[in-house]
């Protein structure tokens, strides 16, 4: 293992990350985060996501029992934005963007996060993401659907009731443009998807693997930026959630339960993160170069209260990390796969 400063190439985006493993012990007198509340009620009368409660704008949620989907009342993208007069100067480029945004509650329970749900309930969440993605992708002006979850106040989540979002839009967002270019280039050179070859090599090395079953592998990527960043990658070259078979959905649910349980067990708190799927563009083209995967980006670094800041050098130069991805994978592997709140149950 390399213990001196080095940079690593992100094969998926074409960007570099600086690794400084010798620096992990520097003292910290900076900001200390609040820990999330340990227990929440199963139902919160003031929560706008709980069943039977009122949302902004006066709509009342149904008395739902499984997942619950609604159009975001404060959508960042609209199906019919007005065509505003744009500048004609080549340095002042803008374009209208069409799209729509939905919110998905995982269950009626205000207190149950993904790792605390049982496997059938996680499968139901995946089935909902799949159905809503396909429904949005079927609209003729939609070319990309982003499924994501912001978890924890530290990641800007506005409500602890476990939920996720879908944003669908007419143009490809930046991260997808980068990953598409890299995967397409690799596929044209090798005739195989980049992520298929990547997972195969990681499974051979066994240095960064957290969990693997027949259909999915969870690992800390070689090029991870966030301290405990992980990816969950499909083994078969599936391009979108809709391509998954029933057994692949079960395998994905198991991988998600593993990753999120180990996250919570690391510091014995509800571990904050932003998570999302990268599905191939919904542009009507075949994308044999693309492999369905999810990224988990958690902000915490050394404890429940000390986070990694992406500031000076990261903002102005490039991302930098202190603990290596191998050490992070080791730590996540060493904690229990049984959630700390469910031990002894």
Contact residues toward Zn ion (CB under 5 A) are 44, 47, 49-50, 110, 161
- Position 56 contacts ligand H2U (CB under 6 A): yes
Closest among 117, 116, 75, 115 to 97, alpha carbons compared: 75
- Position 73 contacts ligand H2U (CB under 6 A): yes
- Position 165 contacts ligand H2U (CB under 6 A): yes
Write phi, then psi, for 221 (nearest 5 degrees).
Answer: -65, 145
Write phi, then psi, for 257 (nearest 5 degrees).
Answer: -65, -40
Distances in Å between the Cα of 18 and the Cα atoms of 15, 122, 195, 224, 299 are 10, 35, 22, 10, 17
Q: How far is the CB of 225 from Zn ion (least distance, A)?
A: 32
In the bound state with Zn ion, the residue whose beta carbon lies nearer, of 5 and 156, is: 156
Q: How far is the CB of 343 from ligand H2U (least distance, A)?
A: 29
CA–CA separation, 287 vs 127, rounded Å?
A: 22
Residue choice 136, 137, 157, 329 for contact with ligand H2U (CB under 6 A): 157
103 binds, among ligand H2U, Zn ion, none (CB under 5 to 8 A by kind): ligand H2U
CA–CA separation, 54 vs 48, rounded Å?
A: 6
Q: How far is the CB of 113 from Zn ion (least distance, A)?
A: 12
- Position 159 contacts ligand H2U (CB under 6 A): yes
Distances in Å between the Cα of 251 and the Cα atoms of 216, 218, 234, 307 are 6, 11, 9, 31
CA–CA separation, 225 vs 223, rounded Å?
A: 6
Of the residues 6, 22, 161, 163, which is catalytic?
163
89 is catalytic: no
In the bound state with ligand H2U, the residue whose beta carbon lies nearer, of 67 and 217, is: 67
| Contact positions vs ligand H2U (CB under 6 A) | 48, 55-56, 72-74, 103, 150, 157-159, 165
Which sequence positions are flagged as catalytic? 163
């Amino acid at each position: 293992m390399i213990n001196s400063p080095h940079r690593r190439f992100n094969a998926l985006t074409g960007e570099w990350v600086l690794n400084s493993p010798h620096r992990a012990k520097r003292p910290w007198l900076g900001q200390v985060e609040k820990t999330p509340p340990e227990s929440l009620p199963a139902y919160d009368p003031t929560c706008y996501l709980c069943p039977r409660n009122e949302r902004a704008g006066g709509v009342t949620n149904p008395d739902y029992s499984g997942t619950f989907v609604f159009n975001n009342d404060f959508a960042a993208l609209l199906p019919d934005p007005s065509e505003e007069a744009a500048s004609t100067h080549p340095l002042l480029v803008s374009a209208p963007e069409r799209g729509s945004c939905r919110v998905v509650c995982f269950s009626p329970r205000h207190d149950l996060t993904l790792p605390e749900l049982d496997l059938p309930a996680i499968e139901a969440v995946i089935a909902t993401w799949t159905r809503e993605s396909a429904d949005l992708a079927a609209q003729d002006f939609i070319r990309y659907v982003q499924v994501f979850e912001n978890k924890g106040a530290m990641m800007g989540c506005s409500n602890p009731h476990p939920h996720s979002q879908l944003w669908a839009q007419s143009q490809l967002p930046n991260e997808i443009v980068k990953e598409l270019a890299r995967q397409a280039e690799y596929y044209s050179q090798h005739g195989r998807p980049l992520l298929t070859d990547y997972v195969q090599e990681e499974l051979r090395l066994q240095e960064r693997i957290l969990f693997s079953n027949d259909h999915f592998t969870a690992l800390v990527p070689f090029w991870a930026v966030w301290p405990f960043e992980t990816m969950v990658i499909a083994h078969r070259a599936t391009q979108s959630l809709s391509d998954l078979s029933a057994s692949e959905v079960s395998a994905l649910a198991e991988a998600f339960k593993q990753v999120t349980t180990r996250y919570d067990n690391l510091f014995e708190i509800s571990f904050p993160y932003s998570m999302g799927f990268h599905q191939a563009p919904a542009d009507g083209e075949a994308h044999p170069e693309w492999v369905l995967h999810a990224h988990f980006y958690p902000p915490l670094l050394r404890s429940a209260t000390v986070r990694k800041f992406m500031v000076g050098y990261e903002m102005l130069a490039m991302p930098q990390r202190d603990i290596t991805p191998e050490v992070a994978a080791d730590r996540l592997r060493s904690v229990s796969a049984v959630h700390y709140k469910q031990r002894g149950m």
